[in-house]
């Protein structure tokens, strides 16, 4: 049984990392349907291996009842994640830290259709939480005999799997992963982590582009004469470059 659980850990932790390495090595499209379906396959494999670990497997991976305290913890975690996603990049800029914020990747995501972006958000929320929190922490603490070890390993591997976002963005990724792992450790709820992950990614990948599109449309409707007459009211339409405070895109 232990060998089976260890195999699941190899899938949940090594699978996404291998996928990132392969896509980078061969310059593949990491946002393609094929790569996203591979994440679903990895999550399904981890799910099956967890189900074969015994009768208590739903509790091990956090598939428990989602109560009011879990909901409250989830809301607090979402607020903290979004606050950090906005504050950390600004702080690093003020400190003079240089590095990519993964804007190229985010611009590619922003150019995709809204339904496909919704698919990306859903995929990241469900598969990554199943792999990194549900299995890596839930099952990992049983295999390694330590919640702390499982927590740290999951955190570091999650950050490593998002290395394509750029060095500067990894601080935000670390912050979000830390809070997500704490949320799982405190609630033992996979559902809480999925909801929180979906909300944070939806903010940066669905809501922000929608608001930018509305602002561009509003700016386009204004006549040059009107904008010139009232420069204080003129609105500069944003470019396709994502705001620095947007949460990092899914890898």
The 10 Å Cβ neighbour count of residue 245 is 18
End-to-end, the C-alpha distance of the chain in Å comes to 32
At residue 237, the pLDDT reads 35
Which tens digit of pLDDT belongs to each residue from 73-127? 999 999 999 999 989 888 888 887 766 555 677 788 889 999 999 999 999 999 9
At residue 249, the pLDDT reads 59
Q: Residue 212 above 60 pLDDT?
A: yes
At residue 198, the pLDDT reads 97
At residue 240, the pLDDT reads 41
At residue 225, the pLDDT reads 53
At residue 54, the pLDDT reads 76
- Tell me the mean pLDDT in the region 229-248: 45
Which tens digit of pLDDT belongs to each residue from 70-79? 999 999 999 9
Torsion sign across C-alpha atoms 144, 136, 61, 173: positive
Whether 61 contacts 139, CB under 8 Å:
yes
As a whole number of angstroms, the distance between CA 110 and CA 119 comes to 13
Q: Please report, rounded to a whole number, the percentage of residues in the chain having pLDDT higher than 90.
A: 53
pTM of the model as a whole = 0.85
Which tens digit of pLDDT belongs to each residue from 136-169? 999 999 999 999 999 999 999 999 988 877 777 8
As a whole number of angstroms, the distance between CA 12 and CA 83 comes to 28
Q: C-alpha distances in angstroms, 228 versus 192, 220, 221, 234?
A: 50, 14, 14, 8
- Tell me the mean pLDDT in the region 218-224: 67
At residue 103, the pLDDT reads 64
The residue among 248, 84, 250, 245 whose CA lies nearest residue 179 is 84
Query: Which residue did the predictor score with more confidence, 147 or 27?
Result: 147
Q: C-alpha distances in angstroms, 42 versus 32, 143, 228?
A: 16, 19, 56
At residue 238, the pLDDT reads 38
H-type helices in the chain, by residue range? Answer: 2-9, 15-25, 33-51, 57-60, 68-94, 103-110, 114-123, 140-144, 147-161, 170-187, 190-202, 208-221, 224-229
């Amino acid at each position: 049984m232990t060998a089976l659980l260890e195999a699941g850990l190899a899938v949940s932790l090594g699978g996404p990392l291998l996928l990132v390495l392969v896509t980078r090595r061969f310059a593949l499209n990491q946002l393609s349907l094929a790569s996203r379906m591979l994440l679903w396959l990895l999550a399904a494999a981890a799910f099956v291996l967890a189900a074969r670990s015994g009768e208590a497997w739903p509790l091990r991976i956090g598939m428990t009842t989602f109560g009011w305290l879990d909901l409250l913890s989830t809301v607090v975690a979402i607020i903290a994640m979004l606050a950090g996603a906005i504050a950390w990049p600004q702080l690093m800029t003020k400190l003079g830290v240089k590095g990519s914020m993964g804007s190229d990747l985010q611009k590619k995501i922003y150019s995709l259709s809204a339904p496909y972006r919704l698919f990306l958000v859903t995929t990241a929320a469900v598969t990554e939480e199943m792999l990194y929190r549900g299995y890596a922490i839930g099952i990992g603490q049983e295999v390694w005999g330590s919640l702390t070890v499982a927590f740290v390993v999951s955190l570091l591997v999650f950050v490593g799997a998002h290395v394509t976002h750029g060095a500067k963005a990894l601080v935000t990724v670390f912050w979000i992963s830390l809070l997500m792992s704490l949320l799982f450790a405190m609630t033992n709820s996979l559902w809480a982590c999925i909801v929180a992950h979906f909300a944070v990614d939806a903010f940066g990948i669905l809501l922000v582009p929608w608001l930018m599109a509305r602002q561009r449309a509003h700016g386009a409707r204004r006549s040059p004469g009107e904008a010139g007459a009232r420069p204080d009211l003129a609105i500069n339409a944003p470019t396709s470059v994502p705001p620095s405070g947007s949460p990092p895109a899914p890898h």
